[in-house]
Structure 1
């Protein structure tokens, strides 16, 4: 129930006014996220599904599969255009992929293509797990995928909030990863660290931006903190 504008009971009785009640209006945002991975990234972003920030409720559709960087972007474009043709467009569409062992040329080309077709791009170099590490520390040097796993485990186990007797071991496809990182780390801090890292690079040789992750942009949007996106969806609100 939204805020009520009330007259005193005396004035209501004297003038015969009726109480005016304004209901909160919810806007459901359709968000498509196409991921390179089958489970890690989809599981993470699905944790935002049906969450409400202000007047916006996020309905998130995640598509994941064993596809390469450019294929992720191509699929995002295809699904975006198909939804438009069907009269059910998405409010925003994102591609999520890692540098991993993909050639630098393919990685760079995928990011540039996403930008050209107005697809949001939450890429990571080297891996998505960098985003998790940033919940704990401002990592500024490159590391391998195995190092990511060890580092995440070290910081979770070392957190004062972690009281389990069993030692935590990072599991790549764990659907509880976001909960674990938020409980023992700090998502807002990760956004700050990731943005600070990204600001250090000023060229389009994205494969050399290491470590770096643009996942913070998508997470910031899903947290209701993207001003431009919020202004866009606010236009869909009709006061009743």
Structure 2
């Protein structure tokens, strides 16, 4: 399940992760969560920098635009159709994964809603990379 904090109440954000864990322990299907707190743009930004400050969601978009403009690519906007190819070409996936892993370690066992900023999207990406030829 892929989701982000956005404007959801903290308990709803946390309970989604906890419910997935609980369902995975009781059945044959394994559920994993790939959340971002507070928005997916945090994961995108980690391809360019190791941001650890809890900034407003709109500031993520501004910072992404700065990185894209530096490469002559214009402004970041939601639903940018070629975003993944831009991240691949101009960002650094390996660093983004490492930054995300390290950030989660810093928070330890805190509730997901308290982990700001943080993301688990890298776990989904790592799983998917197993099936993509190099």
Q: For the superposition of Structure 1 and Structure 2, which TM-score range results when normalised by the shorter chain?
A: 0.7 to 0.9
Deviation at 1:175, TM superposition (A): 2.3
For 1:230, the equivalent position in structure 2 comes to none
For 1:131, the equivalent position in structure 2 comes to 43
Whether contact under 8 Å (1:125, 1:213) holds in the other structure is yes
Whether contact under 8 Å (2:68, 2:76) holds in the other structure is no
Give every structure 1 segment of 4 or more consecutive aligned residues whose post-TM-superposition deviation is greater than 3 Å: none
Deviation at 1:203, TM superposition (A): 2.1
Asked whether 1:98 is paired with 2:1, we answer no
Whether contact under 8 Å (2:45, 2:63) holds in the other structure is yes
For 1:141, the equivalent position in structure 2 comes to 53
Deviation at 1:196, TM superposition (A): 0.4
Runs (5+) with no aligned partner, structure 1: 1-94, 226-240
Counting only pairs closer than 5 Å after superposition, residues 43-192 of structure 1 correspond to structure 2 as 95-118=1-24, 119-158=31-70, 162=71, 164=72, 168-192=74-98
For 2:115, the equivalent position in structure 1 comes to 209
Indicate the structure with greater strand content: 1
Which structure is larger by alpha-carbon Rg, 1 or 2?
A: 1
For 2:27, the equivalent position in structure 1 comes to none
Aligned residues: 125
TM-score normalised by length of structure 1: 0.50
TM-score normalised by length of structure 2: 0.88
The 1-side partners of 2:10 and 2:120 are apart by 17
Indicate the structure with greater helix content: 2
Asked whether 1:198 is paired with 2:104, we answer yes
The 2-side partners of 1:212 and 1:196 are apart by 10
The 1-side partners of 2:123 and 2:4 are apart by 15
Counting only pairs closer than 5 Å after superposition, residues 210-229 of structure 1 correspond to structure 2 as 210-224=116-130
